[in-house]
Each structure stands twice: as structure tokens, then as C-alpha cells.
Amino acid sequence: MAENININVHHITRVEGHGNIVVNVREGKIEELKLEITESPRFFEAFLRGRHISEAPHITSRICGICGVGHTLASIEAAEAAVGITPSEQTVLLRKLLNHGETIQSHVLHFYFLAAPDLFKAGSVFPLASSHPDVVHRALRMKKLANDLCIVTGGRQVHPISAVIGGFTRIPTEAELKDMRERLVEARADVDATVDLFAANPFPEFERETEFLALRSDDEYAFLYGKIVSTDGVEVDVPEYKKAVKEKVVDHSTAKHASSSRDSYMVGALARVSNNYDKLHPRAKEAAEKLGLKLPCYNPFMNNAAQVVEVAHCVEDSIRIIDELLSRGLKDEKPIPIEEGKPGQGVGAVEVPRGTLYHDYTVDEKGYLTDINCIIPTAQNLANIEADMYKMVPEVLDKSEEEITFLLEMLVRAYDPCISCSAHILTVKFVK
């Protein structure tokens, strides 16, 4: 057993953004353990102040190049709640379809391009293009399908332009939806092959009991709309999100840490499956069974298995939504206009690929933003990752420093962190 180790991973690879792992063990005891977040603050909340609320979805979409759809939808939800707009049923269905597109493309990006190289003991996806070309081709095919679903519903694959407050500026045509439906049905074979691939390459065994937080709806597997719930029994309405999400600042991170019922909690695919398993599509439940995902599951590496399960669910639910839209008949609805003279405050909560995203807006009587708060999923996971690392390190001290480093990096990657988006800063008061 190693008595002394000194790990300093400067910039973890295959994650979005910059973070460091620092672990010092002396005589078998942890002296220091940190997941340092070193990204510069983003200032989005600051420069949104004074902007008209109609600009917020397009501006906040730029917080993330992967979760641009999720930020757009959370922003729209918050804005509509603030100014008193209730979207039509067709708008809600199109938003759910758009969000499914982003969830599929982001999950495929992560479990094929960022996590799978760990399972195949490859440094990146590039060697897999030669050793496993069928796997890489399948990943690219699935990602293109998801990107095209975002283009059809949101106007483009990154930073959607047609989803706005009050509705959509462009409604997909019937022909476009029928084409997407046909391709989604064809994608079932790729989903099945993905399940088989990850079932044959099991994730590392590690467990630490924790709290899982996610949205939950009585009607469906919740991505948009619902209550905030946790496996510890938390249940609050979205406008009261601060009762469930308690943020704090730590010295070694430009992103805040978060807690709820205990010192840390987890959001993301595994948290959603843990709180909403009964709402999964039957094909997704079959995928979970093949992948060995049984609840309760306290292995954070299984978050990647849960991502595969959610892809199976989102493909099937996208087919269902398209069928419903086509059976209703597409209406050329115009976005509901924003009326001035309605000051207010509203909160939007959306399950984006990495977990629950919150936007909280306050607007004046002319519709200009006066106060903004955004809570990013990765920031909510940081304390939980560190807690996992504290439990894991003593359990793997019989391994070499190189093997321990690999496992810790793999653990961080299992959470699919989007570190750049998570970085915030305290309110700055200039002293003159």
C-alpha cells in the first residue's frame, strides 16, 4: 500500500473547461484533496442587468456551446414566469422535442467521445477511429441525428434561434417532422448497439451513498417543468428552488459548491433515473437492465450508463411527441407578445444533460432585467465529486500513483462536467 502519494493533475483532459485534481497523502492519511476550478468567471448575470428580457434567451444560450438549448429554454421559462405568459400546448411539445435533441447529442458526445476511451484504455477517441471504426461511425451518426433534430425544431444545432419567449418564430413543417420520425425509428438499432457496447465494458465498481436531486412530474419523465425532488425526500416547487439548492463559496473554486439535505448531492442522468425510473419508456428500462443499472445505485461511474438509458428514452419520446404533433395538426402560431407594465420575478428549471439548470429573473415594468441568478448543474456536482474522491482515495492506495490518477480523472469525467459554465464570482463592490 502506498503511504505517500502526490497527485497534481493540471487541467483534467476530456472535460469541458479547466479543472485540476490535487491529492496529497502522507503516511496513508489524506492531507489535502481538492478539485480546483480555475476557469475565469463569466459575468453573464452582471451584463444581463439592464437588458430587455426578450434578449435573455439568446444571450444566456452563449453560456454553453453544448447546453445552449437548455439555457435558452430555462431562460424562456424564467422570462415567461416573470411576465405572465403561458405557452401553448404545441409550443411546449416543440420545446420538449428540442430539448431531447440536445440531450441525445450531448450524451452521445460524452459517453462515446469522452468516457469510452477510458473503457478501451485509449488516450482519446482518435485511436478508436482506427481500432473501432464501427463504434466511431455509429457515434457520429447518432450525433448528426440529434443535431438535425435541434435544427428542425430550434433553427440550428447550437444556440437555437427560433425558440423565443411566447413560442417559436418558425414552426417545423409536417414533412420535416415525418423525416425526423423515420430517422429516429432507424436509430433504434444504433441505440441497441450502444447498450450492448457499454454492457460488455463494465464501469469501475465504487459506491458512496449520496442524495440525488432532479425535477419530477406526475405525467412523464421530467426534463421541462415539474417539482424539485430528491431521494432524501426534498419536494419543493421550482419558484422555491433556494430551499433545495444551498450554494456556498469555497476558496479553491471559481464555481460555487451546493448542498441540499446533506453536505453534497448529485444532479444529472443518474439523479434523474433515480428519481424518475417509473416514468422511463419501456425500451429505456430494458436498456437499464442490460447495463446493470439497478436502483438504488450509488456508483457515480454509472452516470454514464444512465446517459445511455436516457438516450433510449429520448429517442422513443421524440417519436411519441412527433406523432402527437402530427395527429394534432401543426398550427402556424405566432409567439405571444411580451406586454409592458408587468414587473415580476420568475424562475425556470430545466433538466439539461448534466443536471438541473436554474434561471431566476426579475424584471421592471418595462421588461428590463434588474436581477438575475443562474445555477449551473456542474457547480451543484462539485462538492459531491470531492466527497467521492475522499472516499475513493483510501480504497485504492494499493494501486500505483498512475493508476490512482487515472481513476480520479475517470471519476471526474463520469459526472460529464461542463466546467466553463459553472464558474461564477461573488458580487464585486468597488471601493473608491
Closest by alpha carbon to 16, among 405, 387, 389, 352? Answer: 352
> What is the β-pairing status of strands 265-266 and 211-216?
parallel
Q: What's the confidence (pLDDT) of residue 37?
A: 84
pLDDT of 100-156, one tens digit each? 999 999 999 999 998 888 888 888 888 888 888 999 999 999 999 999 999 999 999
Q: Is 110 helix (H, G, I), strand (E, B) or coil?
A: helix
Give the per-residue pLDDT at 424.
Answer: 59
pLDDT tens across 194-208, in order?
999 999 988 999 999
- The per-residue pLDDT for 423 is 64
Model pTM? 0.95
Reported as a single tens digit per residue, the pLDDT across 295-312 is: 999 999 999 999 999 999
The C-alpha cell that represents 259 in the structure block: 448542498
> Cβ contacts of residue 312 below 8 Å, gap of 6+?
191, 195, 281, 283, 284, 286, 287
Going by pLDDT thresholds of 50, 70 and 90, the confidence category of residue 425 is low
Q: Which of 110-124, 165-179, 227-241 has the lowest mean pLDDT?
A: 110-124
